[in-house]
Amino acid sequence: MHVSLIAPKNEIIQLPVSICFCVPSGLEDIAREEIAEKLVQYPRLPPASKWITFPGLVQCSLQTSGLDINLKTDLCTQVRGIQFFSVEKMFLVVASLDVSEDEFQAKPADSTSGKIPWIEWLTSCITNCALESWIGAARILNAAGFCPGESSPEEILFRATFLRGDFKHPIANSQTMAGALGASVLSVSSNAKVKLENFEIEVLGCLIPGGSFAQLLLGFRLESYSATAEPISWRHRVISGRTSLRPTIAYCIARMANIQPGQVVLDPCCGVGTIPIEASLTCQPLAHFICGDIELDSIHNKANINITAAAPYSASVVAWNAKALPIRDQLVDIAITDLPWGMREGSFNMCAKLYPKLMKQLIRVVKKGSGKAYILTLDHQLLKHTLNTPWCQKAWKVCFVRDIRIGYQVKLFCLERTED
Ligand SMILES: C[S@@+](CC[C@H](N)C(=O)[O-])C[C@H]1O[C@@H](n2cnc3c(N)ncnc32)[C@H](O)[C@@H]1O
């Protein structure tokens, strides 16, 4: 086992400041582009020296060495001030641990105790990384972020979270690993107390590919200054729905679509309006968004209310059936949508009838030769089947299909309208 210290005990930092950004899995390249673009806008921040992406994570090291803990926290304060639309949460990496496959797969030596080797690894990592000094720094850093009203010098309220990515342990799930991480923090810090809500510090453990098998990163969450009281899943919306898309995903897809001022953007199945709202507020305020849904409740009691509250420059919401869009031919530059699938909304049969009819409508309304469609669905077989019909093959060129994880594995299809 090898522990690399990013915060040695004497608090002289020899290694770069490294920040991990949790981003939508499958859209890391788009998120990295946003993060890089925003970091360079802050002249007091040193340039990025290294970027690494893993499923659901972007790690950025800043070109710094020999900085003390105060300067390091000052850099983090600046990063906290930046609003990253593709980022779910970010954390400062304070230690990393090389984990071999044998160590990772090992079952408890004493099967009655149920203790997994994680506890030992984590405790060693935490003991070696001068966690106490980091807790102090993280408290100052996040003082205005988590629960300013509940801080007390005697107690440190913390929560432990474990992100295990694609690494599946034979017996331990993410909760068990988070529990082990929490127990390790408690073992080294006498005044730490677990609090799952209104905590002051979130300690993160994260498994990433690398080293001999995996790397365990240990860090502290940096709360964004720009975060509102609501969780990020509510960003820019006052009402959410059962199947609403995460705003970070909507942002990444809209960014990928590179919407230009004056363009007409369509979401034929808009639900509560996440895509037009995010695309307008975070990507291209000067485009015109047209969206609609078949469910009157979604339109009247959700999308309309969200759009009124978010107040984008130009967005109209219509109650419609996407099988017959009330839109003239070739009006739309870009269609971006998150299609209904399976039993979540309706049934497989309902989707099997909808997809071909919707694709026919998109062929009609999206501009020939230049128009594009970005379609997200879990029923990718159904969409592929539709795209393989001769009439679809003539009208659409498939630019790419990529896997995105939103709890489920879904696919994003990027299509370009041909001249036919
Ligand atoms: C996956 S949800 C979209 C979620 C949306 N992106 C959001 O964030 O709220 C799919 C939507 O398609 C709508 N839908 C289903 N059949 C439709 C149809 N024939 N015409 C228009 N919308 C339809 C559903 O009512 C549902 O709101």
Closest ligand 1 atom to 341 CA: 1
Dist. CA 261 → ligand 1 center (Å): 26
User: Phi, psi (5° rounding) for residue 264?
Assistant: -105, 125
Query: Which residues on adjacent β-strands are paired with residue 160?
Result: 203
Longest dimension (CA), the chain: 71
Out of 280, 294, 301, 349, mutate this one to test ligand 1's pocket (max ligand atoms within 8 Å of CB): namely 294
Per-residue pLDDT, averaged over 272-289, amounts to 97
| Residues within a 6 A CB radius of ligand 1 | 241, 243-245, 268-272, 274-275, 293-295, 298, 321-323, 338, 340, 345, 354
Cα 305 to middle of ligand 1, angstroms? 16
In this predicted model, what pLDDT tens digit does every residue of 23-58 receive, in sequence order?
Answer: 999 999 999 999 999 999 988 888 898 999 988 999
274 C-alpha vs ligand 1 centroid, how far in Å? 11
Report strand pairing: 192-194 vs 57-62: unpaired
Which pLDDT band, with edges at 50, 70 and 90, does 11 fall under? very low
What is the sign, positive or negative, of the torsion defined by CA atoms of 294, 300, 306, 307? positive
Instruction: Find, among 379, 281, 283, the residue nearest to 338 by Cα.
Output: 379
Q: How far is the CA of 293 from the centre of ligand 1 (A)?
A: 6
- 371 CB-contact burial (10 Å; exposed 0-12 / middle 13-18 / buried 19+): buried
Half-sphere exposure of 68 (CA within 13 A, CB side): 2
- As a whole number of angstroms, the distance between CA 120 and CA 9 comes to 20
Q: How confident is the model at residue 163 (pLDDT cuts 50, 70, 90)?
A: confident
Rounded to the nearest whole angstrom, what is the distance from the C-alpha of residue 254 to the centroid of ligand 1? Answer: 18
Residue scoring higher pLDDT (91 or 65): 91
128 vs 322: CA distance, rounded Å: 58
Residue 268 Cα, ligand 1 centroid: separation in angstroms?
A: 8
The amino acid occupying position 398 is V
How buried is residue 369: exposed, middle or buried, by Cβ count under 10 Å (0-12/13-18/19+)? exposed
pLDDT tens-place string over residues 329-363: 999 999 999 999 876 677 888 999 999 999 999 99
State the DSSP H helix or E strand holding residue 111, giving kind and residue range, or none if neither. Answer: none
Has residue 198 got a pLDDT over 70?
yes
Say if residue 311 is exposed, middle or buried (CB neighbours under 10 Å; 0-12, 13-18, 19+): exposed
pLDDT above 90 for 284: yes
The residue nearest atom 27 of ligand 1, judged by CA position, is: 271
- Between CA 307 and CA 312, with CA 309 as vertex, the angle to 5 degrees is 50
How many alpha carbons lie under 13 Å from residue 401 in its C-beta half-sphere?
Answer: 12
Question: Whole-number mean pLDDT of the chain?
Answer: 85
Cβ atoms of 216 and 205 within 8 Å: the answer is: yes
pLDDT in tens, 294-330: 999 989 899 999 999 999 989 999 999 999 999 999 9
Structure tokens at 120: 């030992």
pTM: 0.89
| CA-closest residue to ligand 1 atom 12 | 269
Q: Minimal CA–CA distance to 35: which of 12, 8, 15, 62?
A: 62
CB proximity list for 11: less than 8 A, separation 6 or greater: 68, 69, 130, 133
Number of the ligand 1 atom closest to the C-alpha atom of 241? 9
Asked whether the predicted pLDDT for residue 121 surpasses 60, the reply is: yes
In angstroms, rounded to a whole number, what is the distance separating the alpha carbons of residues 366 and 332?
A: 5
Q: What is the number of the ligand 1 atom nearest to the C-alpha of 268?
A: 21
- Rounded to 5°, the CA angle 27-384-408 comes to 45
For position 165, what pLDDT does the model report? Answer: 81
Most confident among 126-140, 188-202, 404-418 (mean pLDDT) = 404-418
Ligand 1 center from residue 239 Cα (angstroms): 15
**In terms of pLDDT, which residue wins out, 234 or 229?**
234
What does the DSSP assignment read for 259-312?
Answer: PPTT-EEEETT-TTTHHHHHIIIII-TTSEEEEEES-HHHIIIIIHHHHHHH--
How does pLDDT run across 238-277, given as a tens digit for each residue?
998 888 999 999 999 999 999 999 999 999 999 999 999 9
Residue 418: pLDDT above 50? yes
Parallel, antiparallel or unpaired: strands 48-54 and 57-62: antiparallel
Name the residue at shortest CA distance from atom 26 of ligand 1: 271
* Nearest residue by C-alpha to atom 1 in ligand 1: 340
- Phi, psi for residue 144 in degrees, rounded to 5: -90, 5
Atom of ligand 1 nearest to the CA of 340: 10
Measured in angstroms, how far is the CA atom of residue 74 from the centroid of ligand 1? 44
Q: In this structure, is the dihedral angle defined by the CA atoms of residues 381, 386, 392 and 393, taken in order, positive or negative?
A: positive
* The token pair that represents 412 in the structure block: 């994003």
For tokens 């983090």, name the residue.
76
Q: Would you place residue 68 in the very low, low, confident or very high pLDDT band (cuts 50, 70, 90)?
A: low
